[in-house]
Amino acid sequence: MGRMMVLEELIERVGGCAVIDGGFATQLENCGAKIDDPLWSAVCLIREPDLIKEVHLQYLEAGADIIVTSSYQATIPGFLSKGMSIEQAESLLQRSVKLAVDARDSFWKVVQNVPGNDYNRALVAASIGSYGAYLADGSEYSGYYGPDIDLDKLKDFHRRRLQILVNAGPDLLAFEAIPNKIEAQACVELLEEENIQIPSWICFSSVNGEHASSGESFKECLDVLNKSEKVKVVGINCSPPQFMENLISKFRGLTKKAIAIYPNSGEVWDGRAKRWLPSECFDDEKFKTFVLRWHKLGASLIGGCCRTTPSTIRAVSKVLKDRTQAQ
Ligand SMILES: C[S+](C)CC[C@H](N)C(=O)O
Ligand SMILES: N[C@@H](CCS)C(=O)O
Ligand SMILES: [Zn+2]
């Protein structure tokens, strides 16, 4: 049971609000990675594992209490379609966890004995992107998977990757940018069927600030998650920061679970052109002005998603640390 409580323990240890890292793919690109590929950022697991570790270290140094692995778009069928064997695909999934654990351990080894350091030993969350992320057609923002996809197919899609990631030893699972209720249901059923003994968060995407990306209500979606003891945290990621106040308040009324938010910058992903379209954005200063409001409304895990960077996370972490030090 011990391992199921790591998120609650972290939230308590940091004084009520833990910091999630920021856009991982974004920072890989800022460091020179080329990710215009069906595997998106997961292509770096093949080509540039050292860079993945370096980006984890940058987010740890910026103050992240939780780092999310590079497995968002890493899938067994995705690697197979690159001509790899199942063994190679599974070993790349394991690698995503190992790189994050190694970064966390080596960072902690250095800072834990530095007098006056205000870091916490970070947790590693294994990222599980949606089926839509694997499709690489932008459907993590539409929730439309076509007429042939049902609950069992979604469970089949997620099962083996989930097993491999859990066995690689992360502290928790992060289901990211889930766009619809059926996939939330598939994740919850898998956690039970596979008897997963580490906690999960399940975060949705939203394109209108009211509903899940599919158009389904968050009441329907959270009703599914509320029934699971294995889902410790629910939330929103990779959606515009302008939506967060409304969505945190809405979620607070729909669940007793802890709430995570890690919005993107506000730019909008064009799934066909595979680029970010400019839109109303939050810069780091704007993030800073909203962090405490988001926390007061009910978020106890706050970070950033696409197009945010270590400097965003440094800003978020500073606001939260200044607050606890003033208390
Ligand atoms: C969160 S989106 C920007 C990730 C990339 C998308 N699944 C694609 O491959 O186009
Ligand atoms: N953890 C992933 C989420 C993409 S939406 C990343 O930051 O790249
Ligand atoms: Zn994102």
Q: Starting from the CA of residue 140, give the closest ligand.
A: 1
Q: Which residues are annotated as part of the binding site for Zn(2+)? A: 238, 305-306
pLDDT at position 261, please? 98
- HSE (side-chain half, CA atoms, 13 Å) at 89: 17
**Tens digit of pLDDT at every position of the chain (327 positions):** 589 999 999 999 999 999 999 999 999 999 999 999 999 999 999 999 999 999 999 999 999 999 999 999 999 999 999 999 999 999 999 999 999 999 999 999 999 999 999 999 999 999 999 999 999 999 999 999 999 999 999 999 999 999 999 999 999 999 999 999 999 999 999 999 999 999 999 999 999 999 999 999 999 999 999 999 999 999 999 999 999 999 999 999 999 999 999 999 999 999 999 999 999 999 999 999 999 999 999 999 999 999 999 999 999 999 999 998 877
Q: Which residue has the tokens 């999630």?
A: 20
Given the cut 0.90, state whether the ipTM is greater than it.
Answer: yes
Q: Which residues line ligand 2 (CB under 6 A)?
A: 23-25, 41, 68, 72, 127, 176-177, 238, 305-306
Compute how many other C-beta atoms are within 10 angstroms of the C-beta atom of residue 318.
15
What distance in angstroms lies between residue 237's CA and the mean position of ligand 3's atoms? 7
- Predicted confidence at residue 327, as pLDDT, reads 74
Asked if residue 49 has its Cβ within 6 Å of ligand 1, the reply is no
With beta carbons less than 8 A apart as the criterion, state whether 102 and 115 touch: no
What is the SS3 assignment for 151? helix
DSSP class of 230:
S
Please name which ligand lies nearest the alpha carbon of 127: 2
The pLDDT assigned to 2 comes to 80
At 95 the pLDDT is: 99
Q: Which of 74, 110, 67 is nearest to 92 (CA)?
A: 74
As given in the structure block, the two tokens for residue 73 are 């778009």
CB distance 204 to ligand 1 below 6 Å: no
